[in-house]
Amino acid sequence: MGSAGEGVDARVRMWAPACQAVALLLGPYAEVVLHDPDTDRILAIWNSMSSRGPGDPSLLGELDTLDPSARDVFGPYEKLLADGRRLSSVSAVLRDEAGKASAVLCVNLDRTPLEQAAAVLSAFGAPTVPRPEPLFEQDWSERVQHIVGAYVRECGRPVERLTRQDRLAVLADLDEAKVFAVRRATPVVAGALRVSRSTLYGLLAELRAANAKDQTS
């Protein structure tokens, strides 16, 4: 991972201080990621929350980085993690003097600690009433659409043109969100990702293999 000595990427050199500052400011609960829009890989990452590292495939596809008229700042949008943690996520296209998109910055903030702290503080002195259970996710296929949609929005590319890596990443999100614990979810996901059932299972297997490797390392 760390620079083989021959030098840190110029873009990282340029943006690292800003990224690091943000990462420091937001404590251990914000993940700051610099993506390379060309190679679709992570350039650098601070406070990684998802065990990703530099060189790993980005969660970004090719953003619409060529059109200078396109928006450069996205979000904040909400991401839902499996364990219920809610992330606020923003991203920005970083351009060089020539206006070329040289990097994409993403900041993912885990709102949970704040929400918990707020809950504690607001509950102070008040009789703690048993909170009425929130109902089960009413429409889980909506969640699928949401996760896929978020990704697509993030990389600015329609579902049909997602790369293999893209789909793998989305799949990781979906798996993380325990979507596959729901009955009949597989065909829906396959449909949402515009792949066949076979391919879906193939990607899923690949994902599991990768996770297993992560475990052992």
Please identify, using beta-carbon distances, which residue of 11 and 194 lies nearer to DNA.
194
Start-to-end CA distance of the chain, whole Å, equals 14
Verify binding: residue 71, DNA, rule CB under 7 A. Answer: no
Q: Which of 3, 51, 196, 211 binds DNA (CB under 7 A)?
A: 196
Cα gap 196→199, rounded to integer Å:
5
CB of 172 to DNA, least distance (A): 15
The footprint of DNA on this chain (CB under 7 A) covers a number of residues equal to: 19
Assess 16 for contact with its own copies (CB under 8 A): no
User: Which amino acid is residue 101, in one-letter code?
Assistant: A
E strand or H helix at 174: helix 164-176
3-state SS assignment for residue 32:
strand
185 is a site residue for DNA (CB under 7 A): yes
Hey, which residues does 178 pair with through a beta bridge?
A: none
Say which residues have a Cβ less than 8 Å from residue 75's Cβ, sequence separation at least 6: 88, 89, 90, 91
Q: Peptide bond before 76: cis, by omega within 30 degrees of 0? A: yes
- 72-91: which residues touch its own copies (CB under 8 A)? 82-83, 85
Question: Is 187 one of the binding residues for its own copies (CB under 8 A)?
Answer: no
Q: How far apart are CA 202 and CA 124, in angstroms?
A: 51
Residue with Cβ nearer its own copies (4 or 120): 120
Residue 3 binding partner per list its own copies, DNA, none, with a CB distance cut-off of 5 to 8 Å that depends on partner kind:
none
Instruction: Give yes or no for residue 82 binding DNA (CB under 7 A).
Output: no
CA–CA gap between residue 64 and residue 66 (Å, rounded): 6
Binding stretches for its own copies (CB under 8 A): 25-26, 28-29, 49-51, 82-83, 85, 110, 112-114, 116-118, 120-122, 124-126, 128, 130-131, 133, 135-140, 143, 146-147, 176-183, 215
Binding stretches for DNA (CB under 7 A): 164, 167, 180, 183-187, 194-199, 201-205
